[in-house]
Amino acid sequence: GNSVTQMEGPVTLSEEAFLTINCTYTATGYPSLFWYVQYPGEGLQLLLKATKADDKGSNKGFEATYRKETTSFHLEKGSVQVSDSAVYFCALRGWDSSYKLIFGSGTRLLVRP
């Protein structure tokens, strides 16, 4: 079945450092891929998405490229800020008629001044 694997956290960085959060997936066909962000005590907000191979999603300085050959959708940001501290979830929605979003377990990011 479909699944998503994220790197374990927490990830601790200094302000202005480069961020990579790895996400790989298992799915048949051409799933849609999403990154969501969750700030403490809040719901999930869509950060970016990509719906076909080689698409790049981007938002607020974050980017992720849909790599079908490596089944990956790694999240990157060139210069993180303290305000980026949150939990980041990678998710996929299957190519089949499945209604479900399949989530990874989340990666906590802590950015220090």
What is the number of other CB atoms lying within 10 angstroms of the CB of residue 79? Answer: 11
Place of tokens 């869509």: 46
Q: How far is the CB of 30 from another protein (least distance, A)?
A: 8
Q: Which is nearer to another protein, 86 or 94 (CB)?
A: 94
Q: How far is the CB of 15 from another protein (least distance, A)?
A: 25
The β-bridge partners of 3 are 26
Report the C-alpha gap between 2 and 15 in whole angstroms: 35
Q: Which residues bind another protein (CB under 8 A)?
A: 4, 31-32, 34, 36, 41-46, 49, 51, 89, 93-95, 97, 99-101, 103-106
